[in-house]
Amino acid sequence: MSRLRTPRLVSAVPRKDATALLRVVGALILAALGSLAATTPQDAATPEVAELRAGAAEQRASRAGTADDQWQLATLHATRAWQLADGAGVTVAVVDSGVGDHADLNGQVLNGLDLVDNSGDGRDDPVGHGTTVAALIAGRADDGRGVVGLAPKAKILPVRVLDEGNKYDDARVVAEGVRWAVDHGAHVVNLSLGGGIASDALAEAIDYAFAKDVVVVACVGNVSTGGPTEIWYPAREPGVLAVTAIAPGTQHQLWQGSLTGEQAVLAAPGTDLVGARPGGYWKVQGTSFAAPLVSATAALVRSRWPDMPAAEVVQRLITTAQDLGPAGRDDEYGYGLVDPVAALTAEVTPVRTNTLDTAPPPGKAGFGTAPAQTRSPSPATSPSATAEATAEALPRRERGGLNLALVGVVALAGGAITALRRADLKSSRLPDGR
């Protein structure tokens, strides 16, 4: 049996130059691998947290390249929705890792509360997660560049409850953040966080929000090795708009990393999204980033009808959703893909109560008021948090499972968004103007 001979390849590059070129290429590859290792967080092995940040800090050249990457705006027919409402007059609380400085959010962020660093006002984000969530809701649309939010005229009220590891150990901190946001003007509360075990304190805070006519939105959580297999809490709290994630494409396929279950209420784009982060942009995926698109839709509805009760806003969103999967509500998509245009145009029968809220309050007496604060969203003042309880003092129900915050998975963007900052941005610091 004869052996096929491989043709000999002759290089047009002199051997000496070719050797030098190979050395350069090898060095670049090693540098890239080193960068990946250096930027992978130390706690990446934690079962509930999956994150890749390689190269994200270098993606800050031009904001012009982001427009074509924001598939969620086309899928949700944002341009048509903006002819009816743009979020003006509505405040969305982002209870998260804080909201940092970013050109896409200039003028959009109010002074809030920092329950991790008691000297802050929520406008610092060492993780980037909360900034990404905020821009998906209210990124400015005045110059056609950068990340454009689905409700670009809404205001963001930042409430930081997540530490530098993007986690929280005490559900009562999140509960305090929700109550503070409600008492300081939030019309919608976005919770892109959660865990496996329920919390009475957080349940009470959510019921407090309902009693104060506030819409509450939460992500259902992501599939993770060794992590929860059911929809996370607080997304599974009755009355909350629990959001799953879909992938790009006309078929609106469920993102394979999304948790599912009977508590699912709505679906929204949640993968291959361009996210704003302090210092630049990154590609993100996860139910954590689907939830803000539902929060933004709620903001659009409340912007068009400022006097509409929260219960009717919820009803409008679930009755106008595009039914996906099996007919009717299902475990993967809930009532279907959120539809901002339909929510802003359809005739929906008014309701008196939130039809999703099928459970009674946790059983504690009354709602009461949030812990006394000497702050307001504006002007800026130094917040003072209430006394913190030690972990040992927490009931097991409060301690376990509610320590995961990074539901969204930051994906390696590579060269796909190398031109995602303004061309004249010379340093890693963002300018005061866009």
Measured CA to CA, the distance from residue 315 to residue 309 in angstroms comes to 10
What's the angle, vertex CA 191, arms to CA 341 and CA 207, rounded to 5? Answer: 95
Q: What is the DSSP letter of 355?
A: T
Q: Note the pLDDT tens digit of each residue in 186-225.
A: 999 999 999 999 999 999 999 999 999 999 999 999 999 9
Phi and psi angles of residue 54, each rounded to the nearest 5 degrees, phi first: -55, 130
Residue 136's pLDDT band (cuts 50, 70, 90): very high
The more confident residue out of 12 and 23 is 23
Residue 66's pLDDT is 65
Closest CA relative to residue 356, chosen from 216, 164, 171, 149:
216
The more confident residue out of 9 and 298 is 298
Three-state DSSP class for 148?
A: coil
pLDDT-above-90 percentage for the chain: 63
Closest CA relative to residue 302, chosen from 187, 157, 177:
187
The more confident residue out of 408 and 323 is 323
Residue 288's pLDDT is 98
Helix (H) or strand (E) run with residue 171 in it:
helix 171-183
Q: Average per-residue pLDDT in the chain?
A: 77
CB atoms within 10 A of CB 8: 5
Paired residues of 109 in beta bridges:
156
The residues assigned a catalytic role are: 96, 129, 288
Six-digit token string for 304: 């068009």
What CATH fold (topology level) applies to the domain 56-357+403-417?
Rossmann fold (3.40.50)
Predicted TM-score (pTM) of the model is 0.75
Are 283 and 55 a contacting pair, CB within 8 Å? no
**CA distance between the termini of the chain:** 70
Q: Note the pLDDT tens digit of each residue in 275-322.
A: 999 999 999 999 999 999 999 999 999 999 999 999 999 999 999 999
Residue 178 neighbours by CB under 8 Å, 6+ apart: 93, 95, 159, 189, 191, 202, 205, 206, 208, 209, 216
Tokens 């051997």, located at residue: 15
| Biggest distance spanned by C-alpha atoms of the chain | 89
Torsion of CA 99, 224, 331, 236, to 10 degrees: -50
Residue 225 Cα to chain centre, angstroms = 21
Beta strands per DSSP E along 270-411: 273-277, 280-285, 409-411
Residue 119's pLDDT is 85
Six-digit token string for 420: 């995602």
Are 315 and 243 a contacting pair, CB within 8 Å? no
Measured CA to CA, the distance from residue 279 to residue 70 in angstroms comes to 19
Six-digit token string for 74: 């086309």
Residue 317's pLDDT is 98
Measured CA to CA, the distance from residue 36 to residue 33 in angstroms comes to 5
Alpha-helix residue ranges (DSSP H) falling in 46-100: 71-75, 78-82
Are 110 and 158 a contacting pair, CB within 8 Å? yes
Phi and psi angles of residue 105, each rounded to the nearest 5 degrees, phi first: -115, 10
